């Protein structure tokens, strides 16, 4: 059982709109920060520019990944195309790591050869605009990710959320460096931004690898599935539960033990009733149930 067509269409539109908004915001910020960096020569602003350049690349990858993920299942891809979101998130992570290395190099160079920031007021204005646009995008992405359960949108939201903190510390660095002459603060903040970027990437990589390697659903979800199945009065046993995710979709399969004296039709009706219960609790899931006669001596997986 899958969500109703109206809900599914609405979610698809939200995912596309969020990916378009991400690319548009990233493109706007890159243009503004290129201009601001050329005018101010600020390393902390350069670090923010590098982050925005990679945001643009990552958001473009996300846009194409969403387009692929929303493609219906076909003959060659019977389980759909949801894993493209995991691939996109992983690509985003490696792109962001590359930017972090570049900014770290520039920051260390500037620490060794300090230079003052020119036109700090321009840098502050541009970073203020950047902060506002990024905050609006993150709030929208968080809403879409919660409604659609999209891994690609969630990954995009994570690195833009990191950008909020980045923008704040860059604003502080430009203001203090421009007004106190503490030339070391600007590149130091650049290094702090790098550390923050690396921390945010870790969670994205973990989630993407979990999906691509078919990690099981959380234990609380697995326990909920077991309780729903065993709640039916005709179910005498439950084993071999297997779960995984692919984009927004989930796949759940397990064995039910039923009275060996039941007819095939009776077993089918019980299985359908249990399937309906599980699908109501996990509306994005495809549920597959195998029925066994209770008491049959066979090996079961132990995990």
Name the least confident of 49-53, 72-76, 238-242.
72-76
Backbone angles phi, psi at 42, to 5 degrees: -95, 130
Write out the H or E segment, with its range, that includes residue 237.
strand 237-246
In this prediction, residue 1 has a pLDDT band, given cuts at 50, 70 and 90, of very low
CB-facing half-sphere around the CA of 207: CA atoms within 13 A: 22
Mean pLDDT for all residues in the chain: 79
- The correct CATH number of 5-212 out of 3.30.930.10, 1.20.1510.10, 1.10.340.30, 1.10.530.10 is 1.20.1510.10
CA 114 to chain CA centroid, Å, is 38
More confident residue, 270 or 195: 270
219-293: CATH class: alpha beta
User: Taking the domains of the chain in order of start, what are their residue ranges?
Assistant: 5-212, 219-293
Q: List the one residue out of 76, 59, 73, 89 whose CA is nearest residue 210.
A: 89
Give strand pairing partners of 254: 289
- pLDDT 10s digits, 33-53: 888 888 877 776 776 777 777
Q: Exposure pattern of 22-61 as b/e (b: 16+ CB <10 Å)? A: bbebbeebbebbeebbebbbbbbbbbbbbbbbbbbbbbbb
CA nearest to 36, candidates 118, 142, 153? 118
Residues 80-111: pLDDT tens digits?
A: 666 776 777 777 777 777 767 776 776 777 67
Most confident of the following: 42-46, 129-133, 163-167, 209-213: 129-133
Give the range among 71-80, 91-100, 210-219 with minimum mean pLDDT.
71-80
């Amino acid at each position: 059982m899958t969500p109703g067509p109206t809900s599914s269409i609405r979610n698809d539109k939200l995912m596309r709109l969020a990916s378009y908004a991400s690319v548009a915001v990233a493109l706007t910020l890159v243009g503004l920060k290129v201009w601001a960096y050329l005018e101010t020569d600020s390393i902390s602003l350069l670090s923010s520019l590098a982050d925005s350049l990679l945001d643009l690349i990552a958001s473009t990858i996300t846009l194409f990944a969403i387009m692929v993920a929303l493609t219906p299942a076909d003959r060659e891809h019977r389980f759909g195309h949801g894993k493209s979101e995991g691939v996109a998130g992983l690509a985003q992570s490696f792109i962001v790591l590359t930017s972090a290395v570049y900014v770290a190099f520039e920051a260390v160079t500037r620490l060794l050869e300090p230079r003052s920031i020119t036109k700090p007021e321009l840098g502050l204005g541009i970073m203020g605009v950047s902060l506002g646009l990024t905050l609006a995008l993150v709030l929208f992405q968080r809403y879409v990710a919660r409604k659609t359960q999209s891994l690609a949108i969630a990954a995009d939201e994570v690195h833009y959320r990191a950008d909020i903190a980045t923008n704040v510390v860059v604003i502080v660095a430009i203001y203090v460096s421009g007004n106190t002459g503490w030339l070391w603060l600007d590149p130091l903040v650049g290094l702090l931004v790098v550390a923050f970027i690396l921390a945010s990437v870790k969670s994205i990589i973990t989630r993407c690898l979990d999906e691509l390697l078919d990690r099981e659903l959380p234990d609380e979800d697995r326990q909920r599935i077991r309780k729903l199945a065993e709640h039916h009065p005709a179910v005498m046993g439950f084993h071999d539960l297997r779960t995984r995710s692919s984009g927004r979709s989930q796949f759940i399969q397990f064995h039910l033990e039923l009275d060996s004296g039941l007819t095939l039709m009776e077993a089918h009706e019980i299985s359908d009733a249990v399937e309906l219960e599980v699908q109501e609790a996990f509306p994005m899931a495809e549920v597959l149930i195998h029925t066994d006669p209770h008491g049959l001596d066979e090996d079961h997986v132990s995990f």
